[in-house]
């Protein structure tokens, strides 16, 4: 663990490494949003207010890059660190779970481009690792944990509540997914529960940590005040 922390610290404080990582994350955001969601917004006629909640994985990469560069320049934001960690872990696990289920159902493990299953599984495994590494720097607060819980609850509602007119299965603006045996929504129920469980599990654990920390601080004895002379 000390080695992992020292390597993470080195990336954060080294300008070339930190800025290269930020550029890679920004590039992943652009490529992921355009390549995977580019035509999707128009196809489902998504309202503008829903846009921030739709490109989940690309946004996770961007938020991670922002968190990293803020730490590099000495402007660390615990809220952004916590948001980036949850984003990366939740949607990294979500994507790997989807492809594992897809392969189990279809056996179609094809490698044809950057958006093929094996490539996306590998990149989102990396996204998950990025989130786990960032957890080293998160000091969860009750306020930040509740804000993040609210954000991801809204995100899940945008993805899976029956708000997208004409969407097969009556769902919302969940990401475009490959069809399974002719059914484009075959794995959506499983992925919906994956998203909901991860929202409550990750944010719930961070909220519990924040409550435990506050309780510990409240029990800490106050230093004796010096007598007034």
What is the tens place of the pLDDT at every residue in 53-76? 999 999 999 999 999 999 999 999
pLDDT, tens digit (0-9, with 9 covering 90-100), for 96-149: 999 999 999 998 898 888 899 999 999 999 999 999 999 999 998 999 999 999
- C-alpha 59/C-alpha 32 separation (Å) is 9
Which residue matches tokens 């890679």? Answer: 24
Question: What integer best gives the mean pLDDT of the chain?
Answer: 92
Angle between helix 78-106 and 188-219 (nearest 10): 150
3-state helix, strand, coil in the chain (%, to 5): 70, 0, 25
Q: How far apart are CA 173 and CA 201, in angstroms?
A: 22
Which two tokens mark 5?
A: 């922390």
């Amino acid at each position: 663990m000390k080695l992992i922390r020292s390597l993470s610290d080195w990336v954060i404080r080294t300008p070339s490494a930190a800025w290269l990582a930020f550029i890679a994350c920004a590039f992943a955001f652009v490529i992921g949003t355009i390549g995977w969601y580019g035509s999707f917004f128009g196809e489902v006629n998504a309202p503008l207010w829903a846009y921030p909640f739709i490109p989940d994985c690309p946004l996770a990469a961007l938020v991670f890059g922002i968190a990293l560069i803020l730490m590099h320049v000495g402007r660390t934001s615990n809220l952004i660190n916590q948001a980036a960690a949850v984003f990366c872990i939740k949607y990294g696990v979500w994507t790997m779970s989807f492809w594992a289920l897809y392969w189990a159902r279809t056996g179609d493990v094809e490698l044809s481009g950057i958006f093929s299953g094996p490539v996306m599984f590998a990149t989102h495994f990396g996204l998950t690792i990025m989130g786990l590494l960032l957890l080293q720097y998160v000091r969860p607060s009750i306020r930040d944990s509740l804000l993040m819980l609210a954000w991801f609850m809204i995100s899940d509602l945008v993805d899976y509540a029956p708000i997208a007119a004409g969407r097969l299965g009556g769902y919302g603006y969940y990401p475009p997914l490959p069809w399974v045996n002719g059914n484009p929504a075959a794995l959506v129920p499983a992925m919906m529960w994956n998203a909901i469980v991860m929202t409550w599990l990750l944010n719930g654990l961070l909220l519990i940590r924040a409550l435990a920390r506050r309780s510990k601080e409240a029990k800490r004895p106050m230093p004796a005040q010096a007598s007034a002379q």
